[in-house]
Structure 1
Amino acid sequence: MFNQRKYLKERNKTLKKLNICIQCAKYPISINRSKYRCDNCLNKAKKINTDYLKKLRQQRRREKVCLNCGSLYVCNKFNIHTGRKNKELMCEICYLKKISKQHLGTSKKWQLLENLFKKQKGKCYYTGIKLTIGQNASIDHKICKAKNGQNNIENLCWADWKINLMKRDLDIQEFFKLCKIVVFYNKL
């Protein structure tokens, strides 16, 4: 009896040894881009995948659910650098994963950021302003990267995005000193 699975497994094994595309069995594989497929097949697969993801994101946007995972719990994401609302809808977990990827190098450490938020009791590290993840909360480096601050959880804190923009590349003492000068000058 013919076993298709076994046949395909053997066929693919042979094609891999010969460095021929396992999808079309016509062209040599693209050594720089793939282990098993030629450039033509890779480009076709990429286009199909891109079209599918585009349609999926449009559908999720219409349904007003998280664009990444499809969760019903939605939060608006602020663009930290400009303060304008981005049109991307994201659930809190996907938002934390994205921030984790940016600051800790992997999305798998998102729970560390969530725990840090809870440890700070949902308040800005510098001002005590109540923070909401996905709205006014942003991650700040206590010792900025420009002054050799590290991307580790001990050097990160949650801050109001406006305060984070004001602090920029200052360390904590310089930032507080600058705030005192502003208050003193305006006699507040």
Structure 2
Amino acid sequence: MITETKICSSCKIELPITSYWKDRSKPSGVRAYCKECSNTSSKAWQRQNNTRMTALNLQFRASRRGSGKCVVCKEDALKNRNVCKKHYVVDIAKASLGRADLQTVQILIEKFELNPFCIYTGEKLTLGINAHLDHILSRKNHPELKEDLDNVEWISEKANLAKNSMDKEEFIEFCKLIYSRF
């Protein structure tokens, strides 16, 4: 039976049950140490074992490289990449939007799957090969829209490099100008 309070085995302070992490294997239903003591202990362990954990993580990722599996999870990796579609989009979201929460990643994947063709060239896009996430209104001219998911679209690498920091309408006008000359 769960009691209302409990004495922490570490700090010896009587605290409400809500101050402890849940643990169904314990008779009390919570861990022996309070959340604060658990967190302090965990952070200390991480500091002491940082080099070891980094080495193990690198070893783990290296074991997955070349296996065709994502180095982060066990999903199939994209062609010529060490990560799956989801983790590739996580990396793109961090670089382009400055954030990569689950909802953002899902929206970006949905946008790609709804239209896997470049809106400028009609070229078939492939994540990890030629698909780039582009800001419709450039980050340079509209920094306030950097994280706006309605302001991004998937386009081809070549189109993105040509577009550079132009807004969508500027780029289209520029392409028309080039076309009219030839």
What is the TM-score with the length of structure 1 in the denominator? Answer: 0.68
Q: Please state how far the C-alpha of 1:41 moved relative to its aligned partner.
A: 4.9
SS of 2:49's partner is helix
SS of 1:146's partner is coil
- The runs of 5 or more residues in structure 1 that have no matched partner are 1-5, 16-34, 78-87
Which residue does 1:114 correspond to in 2?
109
Q: Please state how far the C-alpha of 1:49 moved relative to its aligned partner.
A: 1.1
Supply the distance in 2 between the matched residues of 1:39 and 1:101 (Cα, whole angstroms): 25
Question: For 1:5-55, what per-residue CA distance to the aligned partner results, in whole angstroms no more than 9, with x for missing partners?
Answer: x99x512x359xxxxxxxxxxxxxxxxxxx625997543321121011011
Supply the distance in 2 between the matched residues of 1:39 and 1:157 (Cα, whole angstroms): 40
Match of 1:170 among 137, 159, 166: 166
SS of 1:138's partner is strand
Supply the distance in 1 between the matched residues of 2:140 and 2:119 (Cα, whole angstroms): 20
Instruction: Calculate the aligned-residue CA RMSD, in Å.
Output: 2.7
SS of 1:101's partner is helix
- The runs of 5 or more residues in structure 2 that have no matched partner are 1-5, 14-38
Which residue does 2:150 correspond to in 1?
154
What does 1:1-188 correspond to in 2, within 5 Å?
9-11=8-10, 13-14=11-12, 36=40, 41-71=45-75, 73-76=76-79, 88-102=81-95, 103=97, 105-108=99-102, 109-119=104-114, 121-149=115-143, 150=145, 151-185=147-181, 187=182
Q: Determine if contact 2:136/2:153 at 8 Å carries over to the other structure.
A: yes
Supply the distance in 2 between the matched residues of 1:89 and 1:38 (Cα, whole angstroms): 30
Q: Please state how far the C-alpha of 1:159 moved relative to its aligned partner.
A: 0.3
Give, as a single letter, the amino acid of the residue that structure 1 aligns with 2:86.
I
SS of 2:165's partner is coil
Q: Please state how far the C-alpha of 1:62 moved relative to its aligned partner.
A: 4.1
Q: How many residues align?
A: 148
Q: Determine if contact 1:142/1:171 at 8 Å carries over to the other structure.
A: yes
Q: Determine if contact 1:104/1:152 at 8 Å carries over to the other structure.
A: no
Supply the distance in 2 between the matched residues of 1:38 and 1:59 (Cα, whole angstroms): 27
